[in-house]
A = this chain, B = another copy of it.
Amino acid sequence: MSEKKRRAGASAAGAASSSKKPRASSAASYAESLRSKLRPDASILATLRSLASASASKSKAAARSLADHDPCADPASSYIVVADQDSTSVTSRINRLVLAAARSILSGRGFSFAVPSRAASNQVYLPDLDRIVLVRRESARPFANVATARKATITARVLSLVHAVLGRGIHVTKRDLFYTDVKLFGDQTQSDAVLDDVSCMLGCTRSSLHVVASEKGVVVGRLVFADDGDRIDCTRMGVGGKAIPPNVDRVSGIESDALFILLVEKDAAFMRLAEDRFYNRFPCIILTAKGQPDVATRLFLRRLKVELKLPVLALVDSDPYGLKILSVYMCGSKNMSYDSANLTTPDIKWLGVRPSDLDKYRVPEQCRLPMTDHDIKVGKELLEEDFVKQNEGWVKELETMLRTKQKAEIQALSSFGFQYLTEVYLPLKLQEQDWI
């Protein structure tokens, strides 16, 4: 009855629309023809195992190169990369800073903070680290100066608040911090800006200061970890998944038998993958930030990548924003550059949906969308970005997008059936190692 009804619907649709071709059936038969190309799962899994082991050995090499560049060890280093620090270390850094101020006051010279510049002109992309970092350039913020007295006071206050938060072993939001002294801070942009200053002064990430952003991300799949001591088994998180904790430093005991991490742009695709328990067929960890990645999700992905040394494959829309989202995961966003080393996951593979997929997988014309002028502008800007330029495959894909002036969402694959994504498209992509 369902099939009969579907065909009745399709022919009725055919009569109503101007289409000549029997639309639905050709899409279904095309999906079937692709399905027949799929090799047994064991063969695809062998492919993924070699990818995973290659990623693990590559990670070791990357870890070495990062150690060579550790900037925190050397204050005379020419650039600043802030790093995760534990509470004890941050507290003693604050203590040292305040002790120095006290000595300075006792010696009759008043006190002053040395604040690194976070200006855009001070940001630089380091190809060997594949990250945006800050050039080391500090300005003095003396208390005994009309121009800086207020900012020096705010800085002292933020240092003291962070000290208190660390002492209590709790986490707070930027908004909480602002409300502790509204009269002094005036508005939240001021306490936020000083918080970033303090982050750079102490050489710690903002999450090391226990000031956290709200989380949006969710995770399911072959992953076990402890969230604040509670053991979380992400294969048993149903369809909803586990909310990614806002404070990644409370995450511990990460274990996994996954072969890769699947990073998904949107929650609709995440839901499909979770409901179909895709990770049971192809052992993987599936996570999404539901659009623009938030800090907590970026920190979490990085932790997974660093500890598990798994390859990361990305499933995003085939449009400039899909690529922009990848760039935020990989290189950080401009206004968080000082924190970039701890927020970025450099080596992400672009699995799909890529502009070349639209023809390769015959995404129907009517499921593609024309790019707007703004899309085209953003796409052209991306072509100029270092992180795109260094990957020839990405440049070609972006050029294809700009030439065809077409974009498509992950959801466009539903035109071949609701489960085409999990049953045909992704398995085939993995089988063909079709990532760049």
**Contact surface of A with B, Cβ cutoff 8 Å:** 1-2, 5-6, 8-10, 12-13, 15-17, 19, 23-24, 95, 98, 143, 149-150, 152-153, 156-157, 159-161, 163-165, 167-168, 170-173, 175-184, 212, 214-216, 218, 226-232, 236-247, 250, 267-268, 271-272, 275-276, 290, 364, 366-367, 409, 411-415, 417-419
Contacts and interface: CB of A to CB of B under 8 A. Distances in A.
A164 B2 contact: yes
Number of this chain's copies in the complex: 2
A32 to B, nearest CB: 16
A275 B246 CA distance: 10
A165 B418 contact: yes
Contacts of A161: 6
A133 B182 CA distance: 45
A423 to B, nearest CB: 11
A181 B419 CA distance: 15
A228 B236 CA distance: 9
Given A165-B418, A212-B271, A267-B214, A181 B227 contact: no
B242 A240 contact: yes
A384 B178 CA distance: 35
A182 to B, nearest CB: 4
10 contacts: A165-B418, A170-B419, A176-B418, A177-B414, A179-B414, A183-B364, A214-B267, A214-B268, A228-B275, A229-B238
A9 B418 contact: no
B415 A179 contact: yes
Contact of A239 (B153, B163, B250, B412): B250
B227 A246 contact: no
B240 A411 contact: no
A182 B275 contact: no
Contacts of A165: 418
Nearest to A237: B230
Contacts of A244: 240
